[in-house]
Structures are given as structure tokens and as C-alpha cells.
Amino acid sequence: MTTQVELLLSGSVARILLRGEKGIQILSAETRQRLLAVVEEVATADCSVIVFAAEGRTFIAGASIDELRTQDEQSALHDSRFGQRLMSAIESLPQTTVAAIHGACAGGGTELVLACDLRFAAEGAKIGLPETSIGVLPGWGGTVRATQLLGAAVARRLILTGELVSADEALRIGLVDAVFPSEKFAEEVEVRVAQILTRGPQARRRVKHLLQQHAADGVNLAARYDAEARAFAECYRTGEPHEGMSAFLEKRPPQWTN
């Protein structure tokens, strides 16, 4: 499936819009390349707020299973490091970033929203990190950011169980900042964006930078991301990704061996 990435600029607000075939957004390698180019472009744009949004059945369904199942340990390591680069570029944007999660959000999609400053969800949305169900793990910074933002216990639960939690549960555990009725979701997001715009843009940029420094104080993030990338790649040494992804595509339970 092909997912298009479009940058829409309107005054102080930029929107990065994803549109996939049949309304399903997939972060294929090509889409990630395009998304990184858009993120790098918008970083220097004359805007104050950036909204990540999508159209159709999902917000972002995750990576391409077809691509993941063809990888070996070396290509998986490269994939992980590029995904980390993309999510770090989103996290490092100087503008205030908002994830508008109108529908299901899984895997790489959740890794993307973890890299945003604010996360708003519609009532019917489901959100999670289900990578272990196909024999891998969140490898685009997800293990690091989930632990930082949610705490070790919640990150452990989400990643080990691979469950997609409801929007209300996501709000309870701090995975999203607000939940709005589905029929009013777009309108409510715009209200929050307008509210953000009433705050000083330079003050917001400075406080964002300062809070990132506080979060990283005394933490070797480079070492954490490297460990995550290597663990993601090592999954391919076990053979589990092939079985997990084959089972997913064939709509059957995976046959794991301990």
C-alpha cells in the first residue's frame, strides 16, 4: 500500500497529512523517506504549530509487514536506525507538535505520536505497540520514549502484551493528553490548536527545548537508542519475525517455539 505525505501550510499552523490506500496509513520505507523530508522542510518553516493528521480508517497502522518480513539482521538494524532518526527529527522540531489520532494507531504510528508534544485522540481510537505479536519490538525509539513518558511499568505492559488500549485507557496512563467525541474530533483539535497559538511562540520553543534537556539530564540517550536498534535487529536471528509476520498475513495464530 502507498501512503502519501502532504505538507499544508496555513498561517501559523502546518499540517502534515497522511493519506493511504483504502484509508489505511502504512509507514513503508518510501513513506518514511518522504516523511523525513517533509519534517526537515517544516523545521525551518514560518509556523508555530505542526499537526500530524491522517484520513480514513486509521491514523497510522504501523510499518509495512511485507517489508519487515523480508529483512535480515543487518537490514533490520539499518531500518531501526533510520526509524529512530525520523522520530528524533519529529521530536526535535522547534514548533509545538500535535498528533491528531482520529482512529487506530499501532506500532510505528504510536512511536510517531510518542515523539510529539501533545497527543489528542478520538473516543473510538485504539492505540498500542503490538510489535511483539509479530516477533519483533518497537525499534524506532519506542522502547525509549514509552519508558520516558509513561514510566517503566506502563511501557512494559504495553510492549510485552502488545495490546491496543482504548482512548480512555490511553488517557488514564498518560499516552494521550485528551480524548474528544469522534463526531467533534476535528473541531475540538482546532480549538486546542487555537488555544496553543494564544501562547507566546518563542516562549513555547524555549520551554520545549528546556523540558527536553530536563528529560535527558544524566541519560545517555544515544546508548539507549543503539541498544534498542541492536535488540530489534537481533530478533531476526531467532526466526520469530518470519513466523509472526507470516501468521499475521495468513490470519492465524503464530506457532512460537520457546
Residues assigned a catalytic role? 111, 131
Q: What is the dihedral of CA 119, 120, 124, 128, to 10 degrees?
A: 0
The closest alpha carbon to 126, from 113, 136, 145, belongs to 113
123/150 Cα distance (integer angstroms): 20
Name the burial class of residue 195, with classes exposed (0-12), middle (13-18) and buried (19+) by CB atoms within 10 angstroms of its CB: exposed
Query: Do residues 154 and 165 lie in contact, with contact meaning Cβ atoms separated by under 8 Å?
Result: no
CB atoms under 10 Å from CB of 215, counted, come to 12
Cα–Cα distance measured from residue 130 to residue 253, given in angstroms and rounded to the nearest whole number: 14
Those residues with Cβ within 8 angstroms of residue 149's Cβ, 6 or more apart along the chain or in another chain: 114, 174, 175
